[in-house]
A and B are shown apart, each in its own frame.
Chain A
Amino acid sequence: MLTIKNLHAEVDGKKILKGINLEIRKGEMHAIMGPNGSGKSSLSSVLAGRENYTVTEGEVIFEGKNLLDLSPEDRAREGLFLAFQYPVEIPGVSNLHFLKTALNEIRTYHNLPPLESKEFLKLTKEKQQLVDFNANLMNRSLNEGFSGGEKKRNEVFQLAMLDPKLAILDETDSGLDIDALRIVAAGVNKLRNADKAFMVITHYQRLLEYIVPDFVHVLYNGQIVKTGTKELALELEEKGYDWLKEEVHQKESV
């Protein structure tokens, strides 16, 4: 589904990603971990098409297409979704109107007619119940005045509504209390299926107790320095990142 080959990227002339290689197949759950500043969020930004990043080398193939050639909106329409670490508040745009616009723009891209209001509302209700999103928040302005937890739950609700092929969750767990974390994780787990893939970016192992990954990658200094299974996350939780950093520096000095 997604193939990242030797991806290099920089922002303001500073090299952030220094040769990322990653393969994600459908149905898989990948966790990306790593210390602060290792390039985790940058990877998600580059994949979603944030404009201040410049890709200097490498390629990304998503469902047979060169992802880096596409505008952010076309990436979304092709089935890529990024749950933001810091969801934006947009006063004056209602949550429902925003979702309807997004959904219909994606449908138009695939030559489908826009959803009738009735169908849209039915879908909304179904997904809202699925991921346990507060119905009262749907008519409010997009994320305006939402608590941190409500914003993150709204990201998962949008994920459910837009039904992407690949969802990237960028530190969706950070700043959440345990109840909110459980709800967010339960929502994600309900959305897992054989056709959908996930890339979960997190700083903490805690999330991975609720969302169990198939693979865990450790990102450090712009590269994936180690790949393992969920046991790797436990090891990181116990030992921290320092032993990995030392391993990398030893390799470099060899």
Chain B
Amino acid sequence: MTSDKSFYEFISNGVPGPEQKVDADNAIMPARKLAFSRFKELGLPTVKTEEWRYTNIQRFLKDAFTLAQEEQGAVTAEQLSNAGIPQLDSYRAVLVNGRLQANLSTLPSGGKITVSKISDAAGNTQLQAWFDKHPHLQSQPFAALNAALFADGLFIEAGVNAALDKPIHIIHVYTASANAFIQPRHLVLLHKSATLEIIESAIGLNDAAITFVNGVTEVVLEENAELWHYNIQSTIKNSRHIYHTSATQKADSRYHHFNFTLPSAELTRNNLSVALTGSNTETNLHGLYLATGSQHVDNHTFVDHLVANCNSNELYKGVLLDDANGVFTGKIHVHQDAQKTNAFQQNNNLLMSEKANINSQPQLEIYADDVKCSHGFTVGRFSEESLFYLRSRGIGEEAAKSLLVNAFAFDITDQVHIPALQDFLADKIRQYVAGAINN
């Protein structure tokens, strides 16, 4: 295939449509069909589409893909060990090419928190009530495509007042030996006053073929619920990722989301959006992207203040090396009724090479008159004086740069409440800096 038209044709005609899908999810089949016609209507974005101006998605869709999912079997416990986070004590849900593998997983059981395949839970009325309903997903072609043709994914439900003793770690393993277009999908539903921590990460086992992942996670926080949601993106070079994470927050709920985009997927496009439908909510969106080579990292965020007295705070920081390209678009919409809103947004970048590039655009739309909102954007280079200061104390160049990148990222990593995850990230930063110096 050589153009988006052919990718579009391939999706529309070349593969079985939703009506032919045989997964046991008949109850959500109408939703799939609806999504499919929505996708056809929206069409694929081009660089003329405002939200895709700085990310030419066409060039990432040129290759021939297959939607056929390879079944499990090839993944061994040893291969999985590379996907872990050392010292992390957690439940574990392992998904191979988007499908949950019970034999490789350790799921919470017997309590008020259930983790199941979305296909198995298709009859669940709660799932049906929320599935593909998030308002922000309705205009997103890739989200529509996912809803129509997603492979499988998780339905995580936490009952009233439920809490777990440790986080749930969702590990994606991608095994494709031929170019594959894989579409996982989750729905996370926390009922009143429930609390949960979720870490999601991915590994690719085969660098010979291209893995294109188009994932969607919907999050629903009922009154007073709290979710810590960590997304770690550190897969193989030959992979391309588009994620939509869309959350709905009801009154008094708290949502803490983290996007860590690390080397070395060639494309990462994150669409993160939060709809604040109840008052007195707290939303913290943290992002850290460390890009190298010719990586393209695009973060689109949208905080939708629909009602009064909500607080949102967003901090995205990036370090870019080599020819890496970064995009940040942060939209805050404060509706007329959303008085007493506090909405803050900050994007800071550190460029470590002449050729690295960042496009950052804050978009504030404020229709209420009694609000506190701010946004800021900085781009800087490495401080030579700081580097010299550290080196003059006997600290080698690599360790000094590592200290400085860690310091730059500190505002973000300091917010991580899981020590093993903090250590893991510090280690990733060390590796990133070491790679930068040895290049």
Contact A73 B386 (CB under 8 A): no
Contact A73 B396 (CB under 8 A): yes
In the assembled complex, 19 residue pairs joining A and B whose CB atoms fall closer than 8 Å, in A order, are A49-B391, A73-B391, A73-B392, A73-B394, A73-B400, A76-B391, A76-B392, A76-B393, A81-B393, A82-B392, A88-B386, A91-B407, A92-B406, A93-B404, A93-B407, A101-B403, A102-B394, A105-B395, A105-B396
Closest Cβ of chain A to B195, distance in Å, is 29
Chain B contacts for A106, CB-based, 8 A: 394
A97 to B394, CA, bound (A): 14
Q: Which residues of chain B from 380 to 426 have a CB within 8 Å of any chain A CB?
A: 383-386, 388-397, 399-400, 403-404, 406-411
Asked if A119 lies at the interface with its beta carbon under 8 angstroms from chain B, I say: no
- Interface code A61-103, partner B: CB below 8 Å = 1, 0 otherwise? 0000000000111011100011010011011110001100111
Contact A48 B404 (CB under 8 A): no
Chain B interface residue number, banded: 20 to 34
| A92 in contact with B407 given A73-B394, A105-B399 (CB within 8 Å) | yes
Chain B contacts for A72, CB-based, 8 A: 388, 391-392
Asked if A184 lies at the interface with its beta carbon under 8 angstroms from chain B, I say: no
Contact A91 B386 (CB under 8 A): no
A101 to B401, CA, bound (A): 12
Chain A contacts for B389, CB-based, 8 A: 84, 87-88, 90
Contact B407 A109 (CB under 8 A): no
Contact B388 A92 (CB under 8 A): no
Chain B contacts for A162, CB-based, 8 A: 393-394
Contact A101 B384 (CB under 8 A): no
Chain B contacts for A76, CB-based, 8 A: 391-394
Asked if A158 lies at the interface with its beta carbon under 8 angstroms from chain B, I say: yes
Closest Cβ of chain B to A43, distance in Å, is 15
Contact A73 B397 (CB under 8 A): yes
Contact B394 A51 (CB under 8 A): no
A52 to B401, CA, bound (A): 19
Asked if A226 lies at the interface with its beta carbon under 8 angstroms from chain B, I say: no
Chain A contacts for B411, CB-based, 8 A: 92
Chain A contacts for B386, CB-based, 8 A: 88, 90
Chain B contacts for A92, CB-based, 8 A: 406-411
Q: Which residues of chain B from 344 to 397 have a CB within 8 Å of any chain A CB?
A: 383-386, 388-397
A75 to B393, CA, bound (A): 9
Asked if A26 lies at the interface with its beta carbon under 8 angstroms from chain B, I say: no
A76 to B386, CA, bound (A): 16
Contact B406 A93 (CB under 8 A): yes
Asked if A50 lies at the interface with its beta carbon under 8 angstroms from chain B, I say: yes
Contact A71 B393 (CB under 8 A): no
Contact B399 A88 (CB under 8 A): no
- Interface code A122-160, partner B: CB below 8 Å = 1, 0 otherwise? 000000000000000000010000000000000000100
B403's nearest neighbour on chain A, judged by CB, is A93
B397's nearest neighbour on chain A, judged by CB, is A73
Contact A98 B394 (CB under 8 A): no
A76 to B388, CA, bound (A): 11
Closest 10 CB pairs of A and B: A92-B407, A92-B410, A76-B394, A72-B391, A102-B393, A88-B389, A106-B394, A93-B407, A73-B391, A77-B394
Chain B contacts for A50, CB-based, 8 A: 388
A101's nearest neighbour on chain B, judged by CB, is B395
Contact A73 B407 (CB under 8 A): no
A45's nearest neighbour on chain B, judged by CB, is B388
Partner of A73, one of B384, B395, B408: B395
Contact B403 A105 (CB under 8 A): no
Q: Which residues of chain B from 240 to 266 have a CB within 8 Å of any chain A CB?
A: none
A194 to B302, CA, bound (A): 66
Chain A contacts for B393, CB-based, 8 A: 76, 81, 98, 102, 158, 162
Contact B384 A51 (CB under 8 A): yes
Closest Cβ of chain A to B427, distance in Å, is 15
Closest Cβ of chain B to A236, distance in Å, is 29
Chain A contacts for B391, CB-based, 8 A: 49, 71-73, 76
A71 to B392, CA, bound (A): 9
Of B386, B394, B403, B407, most buried by chain A (CB within 10 Å of CB) is B394
Closest Cβ of chain B to A102, distance in Å, is 4
Chain A contacts for B390, CB-based, 8 A: 90, 98, 102
Chain B contacts for A109, CB-based, 8 A: 394
A158 to B384, CA, bound (A): 20
Closest Cβ of chain A to B434, distance in Å, is 15
Of B391, B392, B395, B400, most buried by chain A (CB within 10 Å of CB) is B392
A48 to B395, CA, bound (A): 13
Closest Cβ of chain B to A22, distance in Å, is 20
B414's nearest neighbour on chain A, judged by CB, is A92
Closest Cβ of chain A to B328, distance in Å, is 20
Chain A contacts for B408, CB-based, 8 A: 92
A76 to B406, CA, bound (A): 23
Chain A contacts for B404, CB-based, 8 A: 90, 93
Q: A73-B394, A73-B396, A92-B406 are in contact. List 13 more A-B contacts (CB 8 A).
A: A50-B388, A51-B384, A72-B388, A73-B397, A76-B392, A76-B393, A81-B393, A92-B407, A93-B406, A101-B395, A101-B403, A102-B395, A105-B394
Closest Cβ of chain A to B399, distance in Å, is 6
Chain B contacts for A91, CB-based, 8 A: 407, 410
A77 to B390, CA, bound (A): 12
Closest Cβ of chain A to B380, distance in Å, is 13
A102 to B390, CA, bound (A): 8
B402's nearest neighbour on chain A, judged by CB, is A101
Contact B406 A48 (CB under 8 A): no
A92 to B405, CA, bound (A): 9
A103 to B394, CA, bound (A): 8
Partner of A49, one of B384, B392, B400: B392
A58 to B355, CA, bound (A): 38
A71 to B388, CA, bound (A): 10
Q: Which residues of chain A from 211 to 230 have a CB within 8 Å of any chain B CB?
A: none
Closest Cβ of chain A to B176, distance in Å, is 39
| A90 in contact with B407 given A50-B388, A51-B384 (CB within 8 Å) | yes
A106 to B390, CA, bound (A): 12
A75 to B394, CA, bound (A): 7
Closest Cβ of chain B to A62, distance in Å, is 14
